[in-house]
């Protein structure tokens, strides 16, 4: 692979140089007489790419929304769904980086909670939390944008998908509901009841049945159940978001989404792998899912500079019929099929609309001063076959670069033989001319590069550069 990489890099460099030279060279009178016009300014469609960029929104967009949080830690609800999660509110600020990327700053205020009732463990907790983070979102414009339309992406589609990835930090302070309003601790019995004493410690009739008040009064970090001390109440997470955005108004969008927050912490519910016995955690972090809807308000973008009705004008069939049957040069070939628009009046043309060229030398018959030149002859601008002396005298140079072929020798235009003089190959390149035609071809250059990288050549890297420069100069 590396042996071709060098050649490709140099090829691109030379191609760039040649294209610049080609742009600055004058077009010959022959080409001017029957070439297809290249100036497309009169065919511009409504507005330019620069004007289209103005049509995009890159001002901050504010969002307000609400959703539910489903917690996936060690202590969790037995039944979980997006409808049973804890409510949370979000505020966001988004700014477009390009037509397909946004940077989003999001803040969420909500609640974590978990309640379990197992045979060997009955734990619960609740924690208010506040998070803030930044993410980059991608809207799939590259895949879903409708080709050939100049409308901005969100004007083409009413529903736009988003995929986001970011970084988030959040603070929590978990508390547990361990006792009722009278200070009685909850004891969970195997018959499903909650009582004021441990099961089996007294006869059942001597115990008092309690009802949970769901008042989370006990700071579980202060209990230090697993000897972890005062661990940090701040954590980090990686949010992965998938959403759909609906365009409600030019300045209002509704985004429906779900964000899975992969947490880098396992202490929100105070149960972790550091515990022992029934307090031993499952080894996974305390992640959570935020399912939400958000209204985004674009209140800072200026009014659109391009009126949409310019693009969405009703279809005028008569206008398109007129274009379909137009023949600008009146040569009998419609413009849609005419490869040589602008042929002078009265000149005979072929089925493609180009002037007849009987001897196929690249000079149309009405400009050819020497008819029936032998096939593959090299002719000048007047169609007269040139000798080697004529070529040198005509151009006052030993070589014609390939981008000048069509200008000086139309009969050679598009052919691969670019060397038009008797200049001999340098001695150092004679061994590379495998077919002994006095010309170094692409295949022969490729063989030389292969042999260099295979250590089968006496050439060094400078020789390879000189060879490629010589090749392009032929």
Could you tell me which residue, 78 or 172, shows the higher pLDDT? 172
Q: Strand 159-172 relative to strand 175-176: parallel, antiparallel, unpaired?
A: unpaired
- Distance (Å) of CA 3 to CA 188, 355, 463: 76, 46, 15
For the cut 90, the answer to whether the pLDDT of residue 133 exceeds it is: yes
What is the spatial distance between Cα 388 and Cα 395, in angstroms, rounded to a whole number? 11
Distance from the Cα of residue 207 to its chain's centroid: 68
Q: Is the pLDDT of residue 43 over 50?
A: no
> 300 falls in which pLDDT band (50, 70, 90)?
confident
pLDDT attached to residue 37: 38
Q: What is the pLDDT of residue 320?
A: 59
Tell me: pLDDT of 149 over 70.
no
Helix (H, G, I), strand (E, B) or coil at 124: strand
Yes or no: say if 108 and 88 are a contact pair by the CB < 8 Å rule.
Answer: yes
Please give the share of the chain, as a percent, with pLDDT higher than 70. Answer: 73
| Lowest-pLDDT range of 171-175, 300-304, 313-317, 357-361 | 313-317
pLDDT at 151 over 90: no
The mean-pLDDT minimum among 4-18, 27-41, 155-169, 274-288 falls in: 27-41
Least confident window among 224-233, 288-297, 359-368: 359-368
| Nearest alpha carbon to residue 75 among 112, 115, 110 | 115
Is residue 16 very low, low, confident or very high in pLDDT (cuts 50, 70, 90)?
A: very low
Mean pLDDT of 390-416: 60
pLDDT (average), residues 2-24: 46
> Looking at residue 27, what is its pLDDT?
41
110: tokens are 């909500």
A 10 A CB-CB count for 32 gives 10
pLDDT of 44 above 90:
no
* Higher-scoring residue by pLDDT: 378, 172: 172
What is the domain partition of the chain in residue ranges? 2-42+321-473, 56-177+216-297, 178-213
Query: Which has more confidence, 67 or 331?
Result: 67
Predicted confidence (pLDDT) at residue 468 exceeds the cutoff of 70: yes
Distance CA 5, CA 104 (A): 40
User: pLDDT at position 403, please?
Assistant: 59
Confidence of residue 160 (pLDDT cuts 50, 70, 90): very high
More confident residue, 224 or 148: 224
Name the more confident of 34 and 173.
Answer: 173
Q: Is the pLDDT of residue 218 over 80?
A: yes
Separation of alpha carbons 438 and 420, rounded Å: 11
Is pLDDT at 401 greater than 80 in this prediction? Answer: no
Query: Per-residue pLDDT for 445 more than 50?
Result: yes
Task: Tell me the mean pLDDT in the region 267-296.
Answer: 93
Burial of 447 (0-12, 13-18, 19+ CB in 10 A): middle
Residue, of 347 and 217, whose pLDDT is higher: 217
Find out whether 131 and 111 touch, Cβ atoms under 8 Å: no
Q: What is the structure's pLDDT at 291?
A: 95
Kindly give the pairing relationship between strand 61-72 and strand 86-96.
antiparallel
Q: Which fold has domain 56-177+216-297?
A: Porin (2.40.160)
Tell me how far apart the alpha carbons of residues 129 and 337 are, in angstroms, rounded to a whole number. Answer: 69
Q: Please count the residues of the chain.
A: 474
Number of helices (H) and strands (E), helices first, in the chain? 12, 13
What confidence score (pLDDT) does residue 34 get?
Answer: 38
Mean pLDDT of the chain: 79
Given a contact cutoff of 8 angstroms between Cβ atoms, the answer to whether 85 and 118 are in contact is: no
Beta strands 175-176 and 218-219, pairing class:
antiparallel
Query: Rounded CA gap, 19 and 403, in Å?
Result: 8
Q: Distance between CA 374 and CA 360 in Å, rounded?
A: 9
Q: How confident is the model at residue 388 (pLDDT cuts 50, 70, 90)?
A: low
Q: Judge whether residue 82 has pLDDT over 50.
A: yes
Convert the pLDDT of each residue in 426-441 to its tens digit. Answer: 778 788 878 776 778 8
Mean pLDDT calculated for residue range 260-276? 94
Q: What's the rounded mean pLDDT across residues 399-414?
A: 64
**More confident: 274 or 8:** 274
Can you give the pLDDT at residue 228? Answer: 93
């Amino acid at each position: 692979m590396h042996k071709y990489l060098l050649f490709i890099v140099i090829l691109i460099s030379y191609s760039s140089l040649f294209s610049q030279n080609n742009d600055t060279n004058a077009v010959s009178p022959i080409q001017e007489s029957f070439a297809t016009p290249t100036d497309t300014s009169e065919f511009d469609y409504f507005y330019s790419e620069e004007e289209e960029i103005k049509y995009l929104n890159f001002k901050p967009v504010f969002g307000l929304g609400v959703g539910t949080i489903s917690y996936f830690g060690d202590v969790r609800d037995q039944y979980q769904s997006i409808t049973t999660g804890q409510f949370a509110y979000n505020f966001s600020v988004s700014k477009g980086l390009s037509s397909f990327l946004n940077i989003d700053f999001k803040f969420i205020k909500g609640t974590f909670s978990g309640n379990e009732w197992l045979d060997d463990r009955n734990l619960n907790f609740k924690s208010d939390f506040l998070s803030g983070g930044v993410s980059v979102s991608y809207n799939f414009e590259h895949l879903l944008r409708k080709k050939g339309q100049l409308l901005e992406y969100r004007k083409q589609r009413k529903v736009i998908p988003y995929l986001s990835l970011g970084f988030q930090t959040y603070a929590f302070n978990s508390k547990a509901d361990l006792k009722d309003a009278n200070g009685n601790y909850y004891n969970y019995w195997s018959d499903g009841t909650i009582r004021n004493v441990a099961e089996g410690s007294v006869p059942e009739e001597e115990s008092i049945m309690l009802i949970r008040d769901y008042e989370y009064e006990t700071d579980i970090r202060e209990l230090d159940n697993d000897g972890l001390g005062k661990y940090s109440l701040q954590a980090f997470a990686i949010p992965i978001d998938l959403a759909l955005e609906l365009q409600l108004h030019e300045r209002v969008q509704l985004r429906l989404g779900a964000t899975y927050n992969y947490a880098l912490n396992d202490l929100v519910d105070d149960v972790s792998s550091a515990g022992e016995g029934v307090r031993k955690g499952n080894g996974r972090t305390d992640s959570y899912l935020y399912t939400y809807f958000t209204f985004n308000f674009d209140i800072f973008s200026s009014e659109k500079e391009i009126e949409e009705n310019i693009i969405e004008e009703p279809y005028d069939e008569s206008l398109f019929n007129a274009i379909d049957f137009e023949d600008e040069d009146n040569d009998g070939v419609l413009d849609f099929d005419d490869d040589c628009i602008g042929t002078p009046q009265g000149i005979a043309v072929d089925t493609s609309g180009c002037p007849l060229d009987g001897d196929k030398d690249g000079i149309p018959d009405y400009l050819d001063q020497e008819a029936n030149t032998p096939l593959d002859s090299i002719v000048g601008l007047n169609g007269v076959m040139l000798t080697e002396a004529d070529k040198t005298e005509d151009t006052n140079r030993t070589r014609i670069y390939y981008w000048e072929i069509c200008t000086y020798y139309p009969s050679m235009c598009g052919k691969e033989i670019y060397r038009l003089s008797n200049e001999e190959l340098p001695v150092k390149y004679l061994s590379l001319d495998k077919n002994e035609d006095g010309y170094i071809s692409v295949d022969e250059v490729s063989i030389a590069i292969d042999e260099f990288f295979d250590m089968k050549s006496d050439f060094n890297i400078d020789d390879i550069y000189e060879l490629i420069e010589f090749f392009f100069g032929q």
